[in-house]
């Protein structure tokens, strides 16, 4: 993606406000471009509704919030790896590029598997009780 010339900035941010502005722009751009991030966010809303429905404890909310953060952060790290590799390789095949992208994807998978396990530990007993 090429920005108009007056928007292309490569020097250091001069204020905290400017740093926040670009950080939010990064979050917004990642969500716009990455389908998986939108999917994780959708899951976060559904699980939060389930947490509210089953009146989960404060401790369970803490674990869930940490898990949401872990999965979303891993997905953003994966996006950083993918875009950096595409920038460096210009979409040409390189074995190291493959390793970097596959390891980054593996990290997301591991975070997701643990998130599913945590969700199951919290919700399965509550669902069984509710049935
Ligand atoms: N430049 C490259 N050189 C070598 N292998 C690559 C390269 N780019 C991608 N690959 C291989 O293709 C796979 C898919 O890469 P891609 O960038 O499309 O990820 P993706 O499918 O968009 O990932 P995600 O599902 O996390 O969004 C990588 O895991 C890697 O094995």
Catalytic option among 5, 18, 60, 75 = 75
Alpha-carbon distances of 96 from 52, 79, 103, 107, 116, rounded to whole Å: 45, 17, 10, 16, 30
124 domain residue, yes or no: yes
Q: What is the CATH number of the domain that holds 26?
A: 1.10.287.3610
Task: Give a yes or no: residue 54 inside a domain.
Answer: yes
What interface predicted TM-score (ipTM) does this complex get?
0.91
What are 92-124's pLDDT values in tens digits? 999 999 999 999 999 999 999 999 999 999 999
Verify whether residue 75 is a known catalytic residue: yes
Q: Determine which residue's CA is closest to atom 10 belonging to ligand 1.
A: 98
Distance of alpha carbon 24 from alpha carbon 22, whole angstroms = 5
Helices then strands, each counted (H, E), the chain: 4, 0
Judge whether 9 lies within some domain: no
pLDDT, tens digit, for every residue of 44-95? 999 999 999 999 999 999 999 999 999 999 999 999 999 999 999 999 999 9
Ligand 1: residues with CB < 6 A are 36, 78, 82, 85, 89, 93-94, 97-98, 101-102, 105
pTM above 0.90, yes or no: no
Q: Provide the strand spans (E) within 1-131.
A: none
52 domain-assigned: yes
Looking at the structure of the chain, the number of domains it has is: 1
- Is 87 part of any domain? yes
The answer as to whether 28 is a domain residue is: yes
Q: Which of 103, 129, 27, 21 is nearest to 69 (CA)?
A: 27
Task: Confirm whether 112 is domain-assigned.
Answer: yes
Sequence-distant (6+) residues with CB within 8 A of 33 are 79
């Amino acid at each position: 993606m090429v920005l108009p010339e007056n928007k292309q900035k490569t020097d250091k941010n001069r204020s905290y406000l400017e740093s926040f502005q670009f950080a939010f722009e990064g979050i917004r751009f990642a969500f716009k471009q990455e389908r998986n991030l939108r999917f994780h966010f959708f899951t976060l809303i559904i699980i939060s509704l389930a947490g509210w429905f089953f009146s989960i404890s404060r401790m369970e909310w803490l674990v869930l919030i940490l898990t949401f953060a872990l999965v979303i952060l891993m997905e953003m790290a994966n996006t950083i790896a993918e875009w950096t590799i595409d920038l460096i390789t210009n979409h040409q095949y390189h074995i190291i590029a493959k390793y970097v992208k596959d390891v980054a994807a593996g990290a997301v998978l591991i975070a997701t598997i643990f998130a599913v396990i945590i969700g199951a530990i919290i919700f399965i007993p509550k669902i069984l009780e509710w049935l």
